[in-house]
Amino acid sequence: MKDDSAHVVSREWLASVVAAALPDGHGLVPLGRFNPDPRGSSGSVRAYFGARCDCTTAAVLSVEASATKSKLEVEAALPALIRTLLAQRDAFLRMPCSTHQRLRVPGSGFTGGATNQGKPTS
């Protein structure tokens, strides 16, 4: 049987290539340990990033790829993945802080330090 492990998309690989492709000043923090689906039962691979507003509210954002896709296929789709992630960030940062306050989850413990003064940067 052929070993396809070099071509299989992992959560770590996806997070790495997405993080490397983000523009300077993106204000996102990779959430490498965050994994709500450790068994991979969803059929997709997700990479998680955190965004934080000046009001200190944080959001967990994600991009995903089908677990059946090759690394080459995911790399071909990388511009769309980046656009999706940045659109999520921008939507969160455009929300008024009063909305952020209502969305907060007590005790979430997000410790990412990046801020971008409540303004999308790209």
pTM flag (> 0.85) = no
Query: What is the total count of domains within the chain?
Result: 1
Q: Phi, psi (5° rounding) for residue 50?
A: -105, 145
In a domain, 92, yes or no: yes
When pLDDT is averaged across residues 85-102 and rounded to a whole number, the result is 89
Q: Where residue 76 falls among pLDDT bands split at 50, 70, 90? A: very high
pLDDT tens digits for range 4-50: 456 788 889 999 999 999 999 899 999 887 777 665 667 888 999 99
In a domain, 64, yes or no: yes
Whether the per-residue pLDDT at 116 is higher than 60: the answer is no
Positive/negative CA dihedral, 117, 21, 112, 66: positive
- Contact yes or no for 18/78 (Cβ under 8 A): yes
Domain that holds residue 60: 11-103
Q: Using CA atoms, how far apart are residues 27 and 84, in angstroms rounded to an integer?
A: 15
Residue in the structure block whose two tokens are 């921008």: 90
3-state per-residue secondary structure call for 52-96: ECCCCCEEEEEEEEECCCEHHHHHHHHHHHHHHHHHHHHHHHHCC
In a domain, 16, yes or no: yes
Mean pLDDT over the full length of the chain: 80
Which residue would you say has higher pLDDT here, 2 or 34?
A: 34
In a domain, 19, yes or no: yes
In a domain, 116, yes or no: no
